[in-house]
Amino acid sequence: MASFSHVSAMMTLVHGSCFPYVSAVARPNHKPITTRRGATTIAANVTIPAEEVDVYDSTAKGSKLAAWTSVRQERWEGAVDVDGHVPHWLKGTYLRNGPGVWNVGDHSFRHLFDGYATLVGLHFEDGRVILSHRQIESDAYRSAMKNNRIQYREFSEAPRPDNFLAYVSELASLFSGASLTDNSNTGVVKLGDGRVVCLTETIKGSMEINPDTLETIGRFDYSDELGGLIHSAHPVVTESEFLTLIPDLLRPGYLVVRMEAGSNERKAIGRVDCSGSSSSPGWVHSFSVTENYIIVPEMPLRYCPGNLLRAEPTPLYKFQWQPEDGAYMHVMCKHSGKIVASVEVPLFVTFHFINAYEEVDDNGELSEIIVDCCEHNADTTILDNLRLNNLRTYSGMDVLLDARLGRFSIPMDGTKRGKLESALNPDKHGRGIDMSTINPTYLGKKHRYVYACCAQRPCNFPNTLTKIDLEKKTAKSWHEHGAVPSEPFFVARPGAIEEDDGVAISVVSDKNGEGYAVILDGKTFEEIARAKFPYGLPYGLHGCWVPKA
Ligand SMILES: CC(=O)/C=C/C=C(C)/C=C/C1=C(C)CCCC1(C)C
Ligand SMILES: CC(/C=C/C=O)=C\C=C\C=O
Ligand SMILES: [Fe+2]
């Protein structure tokens, strides 16, 4: 377990007396970043004085914002100073995953989602905080660093074949999945049995890690014969199970699967056939469940087999927009695998579903299912706007596309059409919203509060931490000029009764290349503590909480 004594023991070992509380290891082929507080030691006991180390990546074109800049060292761990008061009940580790390295040799990745996974850990104990970060040792990351070029197909880029024969063999390996990335840069989940797994959209990119050291233990192998190359980046994980969707590109539809805690074997619950005439299933980055049902979205932004084969990116990358085939929501009974409703809904673009729950009528009969999501006004442009060049070259203009907290109502009386409306006036949260969390106790149940990144305009990316009250239809935001906060992760206070009794934790990438974590009170949404990092961290995506045993 990471603890303050563990950190100082490690320091003595690695750094001797030169820098007594920090552990740092440089990324292969990169000069290490310094920590502002002193010198940096690289693996071979070479120490670089602080003033000689370039903190910022050259690709950031003068920008000192940490968010879109590759992290320069492979790992670091140390205690950090805290301003304010971290509640003493907050005991455990917050883990956050995300793409943090976008440079391979001289090559700069194009898209936010291409970056190699950087895991961040914040260990809380008795009001104190230890920060750590470490690269996930996927084959894709290791081989890219070793060869100074990408070796696997990432979200928007593929290795350039040297000749025609290499091109043919690359296409063949695409069908077997051999050329797909295992760069698990999207999320991190704690399984019911305590194992911690980092995930992305390729199934082979499921990687078990040690939550104390952030060390990569190895690939999480699914022991079944279900196959498939891709799955939802966001499984629904509880103490007892792991549910996910495996899109079927050959026979358009989705396999809904369940893996029991303690097992590596996924079992099929059922299958959803696509409703539209489309030749391909909709992209399922995430999905929601209620207490009894799994809600399978069929988004008009669909996987595109043609684009999957292309090495060069298209504006929609591996996807295609097919409004003519409609948008649908399918409701599957968790226990029987039967589809109990399939309704057509207005067109939508959503990365992240927030939660879903069942509504009953006056007779106690199930009347409708409510599904909340971060909805990008059915505009696919958001995907291409997440190109790094775009994120790095912010001119001060208000260019963030509008988004809203979308609420689907799925009638359970056989009606064939569902509704999609804004759950509150989007102006209340600056017409931007993504990267949402709720109190996990409310998973599948009626929730009142949503924590998300929203907007204070002008901006080019969500720049606030916002608490949304869906009952009062209000929003309260935390904002700091020029800073980019990541997903506000809600941790409930042990023993809490009220839904918002807890804290929201977010890692912030600051405008001067600096970084810190903020702890916001879940009720008042006021900042109660700030842990200042000795260096800025790149933007990250999703997190999880590992309570201290
Ligand atoms: C970081 C994030 O939110 C999404 C990452 C998505 C990835 C890495 C998708 C990768 C894919 C391939 C490498 C080929 C097959 C298609 C697709 C799932 C888009
Ligand atoms: C960063 C993001 C999606 C991440 C996927 O996991 C969306 C940002 C949207 C901006 O409005
Ligand atoms: Fe996501």
Which of 185, 200, 234, 386 is the best mutation target for the ligand 2 pocket, counting ligand atoms within 8 Å of the beta carbon and taking the most? 386
Ligand 2 center–CA 351 separation, angstroms? 7
Ligand 1 center–CA 257 separation, angstroms? 20
pLDDT tens string, the chain, 549 residues long: the values are 445 444 433 332 222 222 223 456 766 655 444 333 333 332 222 233 333 333 333 333 445 789 999 998 999 999 999 999 999 999 999 999 999 999 999 999 999 999 999 999 999 999 999 999 999 999 999 999 999 999 999 999 999 877 777 777 777 777 778 999 999 999 999 999 999 999 999 999 999 999 999 999 999 999 999 999 999 999 999 999 999 999 999 999 999 999 999 999 999 999 999 997 888 999 999 999 999 999 999 999 999 988 888 878 888 999 999 999 999 999 999 999 999 999 999 999 999 999 999 999 999 999 999 999 999 999 999 999 999 999 999 999 999 999 999 999 999 999 999 999 999 999 999 999 999 999 999 999 999 999 999 999 999 999 999 999 999 999 999 999 999 999 999 999 999 999 999 999 999 999 889 999 999 999 999 999 999 999 999 999 999 999 997
Q: Closest-lying ligand to the alpha carbon of 319?
A: 1
**In a domain? residue 41:** no
Residue 180 bridge partners (DSSP): 153
How many separate domains does the chain show?
A: 1
The interface pTM score, or ipTM, of the predicted complex is 0.95
Query: Which has the closest alpha carbon to 277: 348, 315, 328, 232?
Result: 328
**In a domain? residue 505:** yes
**Per-residue b/e over 308-335, b at no fewer than 16 CB within 10 Å?**
beeeebeebbbbbbbeebbbbbbbbebe
Residue whose Cα lies nearest atom 12 of ligand 1: it is 155
Ligand 2 center–CA 128 separation, angstroms? 31
Ligand 2 center–CA 379 separation, angstroms? 13
d(CA 188, CA 257): 19
**In a domain? residue 2:** no
Instruction: Report the atom number in ligand 2 closest to the C-alpha of 376.
Output: 11
Cβ contacts of 15 within 8 Å, gap of 6 or more: 22, 23, 41
**In a domain? residue 399:** yes
Instruction: Report the atom number in ligand 2 closest to the C-alpha of 186.
Output: 6
Annotated binding site: 234, 285, 352, 542
Q: What would the DSSP string read from start to end of 273-298?
A: E--SS-SSPBP-S--EE-SSEEEEEE
Domain CATH for 497: 2.130.10
Global pTM reads: 0.91
**In a domain? residue 233:** yes
> What tokens were used for 528?
């109660």
Question: Domain range spanning residue 129?
Answer: 75-547
**In a domain? residue 404:** yes
**In a domain? residue 172:** yes
Which of 301, 351, 375 is the best mutation target for the ligand 2 pocket, counting ligand atoms within 8 Å of the beta carbon and taking the most? 351
> What tokens were used for 448?
């009142």
**In a domain? residue 26:** no
